[in-house]
Chain A
Amino acid sequence: MKHYIYLFPTLIFMIALSIYPLAYLWYISFTDFSGGSINFIGLENYAYLILKDPVFLTSLQNTMLYIALSLGVEIPLGLGLALLLNRKFRGKSVFLIIIMIPMIIPPVVAGLTFRMLYDPTLGILNYLLSVFGLRGMNWLSDPQIAMLSVALIDIWQWTPFVTLVMLAGLQYLPLDVMEAAIIDGASSFQVLRYITLPLLKRIFALAILFRLVDSIKAFETIFLTTRGGPGYATQTLNIYTFLTSFTYFHFGVGAALAILMVIITTFLVLLLFRILR
């Protein structure tokens, strides 16, 4: 019993600021609370979102598109960079520090920086395109490419994370096994395919799940550039939940959205824990 005293401060703190608020969120999701009086309306918010609200479906699709675009580049590019960096060479630590910067700077700075780069009048990106004789684009205001533009910010920020996680995994690979394989006549591609990648499976799964959970929650990349627009082109579930709650103050609907997000992430996290244990 005495040992539990050590745990109490953290547990009490987390019950007060995490469990209790989540229970309260659960309760609000069954009400029509929007700042004034609270009336219990049962499952109406959920029924509205799933059956009637076209924006909910759009947001769900946009979330999946955002994940597909950002992870689709981050994972292979991150792995490729890790394989390149997993050798001894001069200037390696300089490279490691440089690629660390995008993920260490405040996400607000990253978001605003890209907003500036994407700007059609003073943005450098359109200028660089014109140098190569290409037409400039409305990066953030063209609904066709806005999602790609915000995903690009995510890619810039978080590819280094994948690289460094993979690099950590590569360090624990058994070198002697690989050398033996090469002596026995395996090509370096075969070593990669049959030894390196299978051994990296666990860390691979971890990197994907961390990125997956975090990109569901992606906020600054979208909120600071497009706020979900133009129209609903970049509105993900997270942005929809935020705007519903804190711009329109429909806390009831917002809470129902948030509960749905919690359910989705919990499912993914249970998967993560199964890998970790």
Chain B
Amino acid sequence: MMHRPKSGNKLLVDVLCYLILIIVCVIFLLPIYWVVTTSLKLPIEIFELPPKWIFVPTLENYIQLLKTVDFISCYVNSIIVASSSTILSLALGFPTAYALARFRIKRKEDIAFWILSTRFTPAVAIAIPIFILFQHLRLLNTYPALILVHTLMNLPLAVWMLRGFIESIPPELEQAALVDGCSESQAILRITIPLSLTGIIATGVLCFIFSWNEFLFALLLTGVETRTAAVMMYCFIGFSEIRWGQMCSAAVLVSIPVIIFGILVRKYLIAGLTFGTIKG
């Protein structure tokens, strides 16, 4: 981007930049590297200092972790909650996003910003009344409790991101379908949804990631049967002695899906984290 007068100078700058970036990457990756290697070490090797940089990897921790049935059921719980709340967020969010993108509605921007404002409400402020109300309704330790709250959390994201994707489709295409005799809902089904499918999928994947990672509500609203993987991780601290090896193998297994999904939707990640207010 910047022009340098001398090419020798430019080479130096390039090498320097690479060097800084590599150091930064090492720092960012060191904690992750440490978790992955710890998960592959035998319990006695974990506590060895100086740490063993070269060792024979073993799946012992993973086997022990999977033997405790708890982990698999927590993993399944996470999948149930994350996919249900994702589908619900998209189903509720799409019509709203469509209306905000296409129709002339009084105080439209106020409504849009009100929806966005829930992104910033401290979770604990919602958690206190929800916890008390759900206790009255006997909804604690049920799937719907967490699914509803995660939908609330992801709905503003769905509305704001989908609105952006719908706005990028020329409205003339839908109007042409209407002229050809389609009803409004048919036009949406046959034109708008297929054309914004990439956006819908990206939004869905982001909803899934955020639900999967959510901890505070999951901790409060779930019980032994409905515990998600994130809460299960927390339970490792509860033991009198933390089993670091198993904890690290759980950390790896819990992180893998979101890392893969995150890489798939990396173009939309910043938009997702800022609810579409910044295009990445």
Which residues of A are interface residues toward B (Cβ below 8 A)? 3-4, 6-7, 9-11, 13-14, 17-18, 20-22, 24-25, 28, 33, 81, 84-87, 89, 95-110, 112-117, 121-122, 124, 127, 131, 156, 160-161, 164-165, 168-169, 175, 178-179, 182, 188, 191, 203, 206, 210, 213, 216-217, 219-220, 224, 238, 241-242, 245-246, 251, 254-255, 258-259, 261-262, 265-266, 268-269, 272-273, 276-277
Contact = CB atoms under 8 A, between A and B. Distances in A.
Main secondary structure of the interface of A (DSSP, over half): helix
Contacts of A18: 118, 121, 126, 152
A219 B123 contact: yes
A97 B126 contact: no
A249 B213 CA distance: 26
Contact of B280 (A95, A131, A164, A188): A164
B269 A104 contact: yes
Give 8 closest A-B pairs by Cβ, nearest first. A6-B99, A104-B262, A21-B129, A258-B125, A10-B96, A24-B129, A3-B103, A106-B213
B31 A114 contact: yes
A105 B36 CA distance: 13
A103 B213 CA distance: 10
B258 A105 contact: yes
A84 B92 contact: no
A97 B263 contact: yes
A99 B25 contact: yes
B115 interface: yes
Residue of A28, A124, A268 with most chain B CB atoms under a 10 A cut-off: A124
A9 B38 contact: no
Given A161-B273, A277-B109, A102 B126 contact: no
Contacts of B255: 105-106, 109
Interface stretch (B44-52, B62-70, B170-178, B190-198): B44-52
B120 A219 contact: no
